C-alpha cells in the first residue's frame, strides 16, 4: 500500500474544513441526524472541493518543473477557476479552455462569476465549441501545450477525460479520513454521504477512502450533475479502480456497489430545475448555506428527494458534502428574481 505522503503535493486548501450540524433541516426532512461537510470553505479563491484535488495535480506539476498549467471545462467551471487561482498562487502561467457546454445562457454567464475570476487571476482564455467531447477538448489542450513547448515553456495538462491518472481523487481519500475523525470526535455515527457526481474524482475518492477504512457499509449516494446514472456509475467505478491502483490497494468495491441517481439532473448540465431552485432557497433560509445550481444545489435537491421518497429513512445519520461553487450562483440570478417568496 502506498501512502498519500509519497505523492508530491502542494498546500492549497484550508483543512480540516468544518463539519456543521444541520439540525433544522434534519428535523424538516423527517428526523435525520444531518451534517454538512463544508468543503465550500477550503479557502482557495472562494473555496470548493477542487482545492483538495489540485494539491496533488500541482504537486506533480511542480515536481516535473512545469511552467504553465492547462485545464479545460465549462464556461462557469469551478475547476477552471480553482486552477487559475492555484497557478497564480504558485507563480505559474495558466491557460484555460472554456467549453460551450451550457446552451441558451446570456452575457452574464459568459462574462461574470467564474469567468471574471479567471481573468482576475491572469489566466489566458481559449474557447472550445463542443460541450460533450471530452477527448476532443483534451486534444485541443494538447495542441495548445505543443505551442507552449515551441515557445520554450514546459506545459502540464490536467486532462478532463478518464484514462489519465486520477491524482485529484487522492484529495478525497484524505478527506474521508478527515471526516471520519471529525465524526469520531463528536461520537457520531455515519450511515450515508450525499455527494454531487460529475468528473467522479470526489465521488470515487470517497469510496476508496471508505474502503481503506473498512467502512463499505456506509452508503454513498452520488447525485448526477452531467450524465445519466448508468454512464456515471461506470465512470465512478473506473476512476475508483484507477485511484486504488495509484495506492497499490486491492479494492473490494464492485461496480454494482456504485449508487448514482439521475432523477435530479434534468433539464441537463448547468440548467437547474424548479426543484433545484427551491432547494437552493431552502438551504439558504434554513441553514444559511449558499449552494450553486450546477453541483451542490442539485446534490441538495437529491438529499431532499431521497428523504421524501424514504430512501433515506428517518433517523439516518447523513453527511452532505458541500462542494462549493459560490461564484457560479451569481450568473443564475434570473432564476431567483421575481419568484414567489417562500
- Positions marked active-site: 77
**175, exposed or middle or buried, with CB in 10 Å at 0-12, 13-18, 19+?**
buried
Q: How far apart are CA 131 and CA 192, in angstroms?
A: 32
Q: How far apart are CA 260 and CA 121, in angstroms?
A: 35
Q: Which residues contact 232 (CB under 8 A, 6 or more apart)?
A: 197, 200, 222, 224, 226, 260, 262
How many alpha carbons fall within 13 Å on the CB side of residue 164?
14
Q: How far apart are CA 26 and CA 14, in angstroms?
A: 27
Q: How far apart are CA 183 and CA 160, in angstroms?
A: 33
Q: How far apart are CA 90 and CA 221, in angstroms?
A: 35
Q: Which among 92, 73, 243 is positioned nearest to 154, based on CA atoms?
A: 92
Q: In what order do the strands lie in the sheet with 219-224?
A: 19-21, 33-38, 317-322, 192-197, 219-224, 259-261
Amino acid at each position: 500500500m502506498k501512502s498519500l505522503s509519497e505523492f508530491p503535493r502542494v498546500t492549497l486548501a484550508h483543512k480540516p474544513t468544518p463539519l456543521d450540524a444541520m439540525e433544522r433541516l434534519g428535523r424538516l426532512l423527517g428526523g435525520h441526524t444531518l451534517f454538512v461537510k463544508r468543503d465550500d470553505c477550503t479557502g482557495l479563491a472562494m473555496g470548493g472541493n477542487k482545492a483538495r484535488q489540485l494539491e496533488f495535480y500541482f504537486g506533480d506539476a511542480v515536481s516535473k518543473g512545469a511552467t504553465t498549467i492547462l485545464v479545460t471545462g465549462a464556461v462557469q467551471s469551478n475547476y477552471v477557476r480553482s486552477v487559475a487561482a492555484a497557478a497564480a498562487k504558485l507563480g505559474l502561467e495558466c491557460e484555460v479552455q472554456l467549453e460551450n457546454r451550457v446552451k441558451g445562457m446570456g452575457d452574464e454567464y459568459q462574462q461574470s462569476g467564474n469567468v471574471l475570476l479567471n481573468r482576475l487571476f491572469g489566466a489566458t482564455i481559449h474557447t472550445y465549441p463542443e460541450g460533450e467531447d471530452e477527448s476532443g477538448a483534451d486534444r485541443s489542450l494538447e495542441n495548445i501545450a505543443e505551442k507552449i513547448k515551441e515557445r520554450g515553456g514546459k506545459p502540464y495538462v490536467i486532462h478532463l477525460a478518464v484514462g489519465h491518472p486520477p491524482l485529484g481523487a487522492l484529495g478525497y481519500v484524505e478527506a474521508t479520513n478527515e471526516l471520519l475523525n471529525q465524526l469520531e470526535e463528536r461520537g457520531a455515527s455515519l450511515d450515508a454521504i450525499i455527494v454531487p457526481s460529475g468528473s467522479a474524482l470526489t465521488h470515487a475518492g470517497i469510496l476508496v477512502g471508505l474502503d481503506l477504512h473498512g467502512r463499505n457499509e456506509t452508503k454513498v449516494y452520488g447525485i448526477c450533475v452531467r450524465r445519466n446514472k448508468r454512464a456515471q456509475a461506470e465512470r465512478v467505478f473506473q476512476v475508483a479502480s484507477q485511484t486504488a491502483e495509484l495506492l497499490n490497494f486491492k479494492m473490494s468495491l464492485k461496480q454494482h456497489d456504485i449508487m448514482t441517481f439521475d432523477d435530479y439532473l434534468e433539464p441537463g448540465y448547468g440548467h437547474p430545475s424548479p426543484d433545484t431552485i427551491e432547494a437552493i432557497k431552502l438551504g439558504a433560509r434554513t441553514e444559511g448555506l449558499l449552494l450553486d445550481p450546477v453541483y451542490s444545489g442539485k446534490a441538495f435537491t437529491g438529499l431532499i428527494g431521497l428523504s421524501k421518497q424514504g430512501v433515506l429513512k428517518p433517523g439516518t445519520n447523513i453527511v452532505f458534502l458541500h462542494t462549493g461553487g459560490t461564484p457560479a450562483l451569481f450568473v443564475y440570478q434570473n432564476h431567483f428574481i421575481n419568484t414567489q417568496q417562500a
